[in-house]
Amino acid sequence: MSQVKYSDPGLTLNTAATIPSLGLGVYQLEGEECKELVLQALKTGYRLIDTAQFYRNENAVGQAVRESGIPREEIFITTKVQAGAHTVEGCKRKVEKSLSDLGLDYIDLFLIHGPLMGPEKRVDTWSNLVDFMHRSEGKIRAVGVSNFGIAHLEALREEGLEIPSVNQIELHPHLPQTPIVDYCKSKGIVIQAYCPLMRGQQNQASLGEGAGWAGKAGFGWDHEGLKGVAEKENMTIGQVLLKWSIQKGYCPQAKTSSPTRLKENLDVLHLPPLSEESMNELEKMNLEGREEEVGRLALEWNPVDCP
């Protein structure tokens, strides 16, 4: 397979491993479609693929990795467990199932998919994952969380447990989630951004309820400030949004099924930074505090405040 080379310094995890600056998300892709898209992404130059047990496509992702011809150590694979890992044996089964479904010898990053399991199971699941990582002889290289809020992370710290390497949350100019972002940065937790392109599902197949602003004039890709920045910077709107995320220090997980968009999104790694003026203009898109006016802000489930 002919492959494109992109210069990407990546982000350093608290394990000293490096995670690529931009990843491909594969939520709601299955079977051959998923495999072919991941193969195309790897050919285009992507080196981070984000899957999950809930997505039911780990097998397709693993097939693509094996068929790509790219050395395994050059590809960063993230997957997630949603429930059932709060016991030692349950954790072991869940991790080994992902390894088996992926058909890979190791997983670069294993996340708890969300905090909805409750306080005790959250702590137990995290403790088990950390222990498995240290005892697994490299089967898991790093562990982290997804959709965790400050209270969830503080509960882990108060138990004397290790700090997660990553917290993956919904982030874009309409939903900057400043408190949890600031907390993660203060603790050295790398922030991965999902829905960075401000597009999400609003149907029954989605985890979330959909944002109140989605599809309305003047919001999302129809925002005049965003369109103005794209024109000024000579970028597509998608590239502006990914560049915003990267310049904020996040690791965005972009989803697309278009080969053209695959390359267009990845090209942000070679584009110049957005100007300070442009970044300030994008800050004005923040809708936090305006929920009564525009409705729900998150495109997906975003349970960072759950008990």
- Residues flagged as binding site for substrate: 113
Question: Is the distance from CB of 170 to CB of 298 less than 8 angstroms?
Answer: yes
User: Is 106 annotated in the active site?
Assistant: no
Binding residues: 113
DSSP state of 207: S
| Dihedral, 281, 189, 53, 159 alpha carbons, nearest 10 | -140
Token pair 């495999």 in the structure block, residue:
35
Q: H/E element holding 300?
A: none
Q: How far is CA 57 from the centre of its chain?
A: 16
Catalytic residue selected from 46, 55, 183, 250: 55
Distance, in Å, from the CA atom of 35 to the CA atom of 24, rounded to the nearest integer, reads 12
> Please, how many CA atoms are within 13 Å of residue 6, restricted to the half-sphere of its CB?
25
| Buried-exposed string 150-163: b where 16+ CB fall within 10 A, e elsewhere | eebbebbeeeeebe
Question: Is the distance from CB of 170 to CB of 299 less than 8 angstroms?
Answer: yes
Structure tokens at 155: 């509960």
Distance, in Å, from the CA atom of 60 to the CA atom of 48, rounded to the nearest integer, reads 15
Distance, in Å, from the CA atom of 40 to the CA atom of 261, rounded to the nearest integer, reads 11
- Could you give the residue numbers annotated as active site? 55
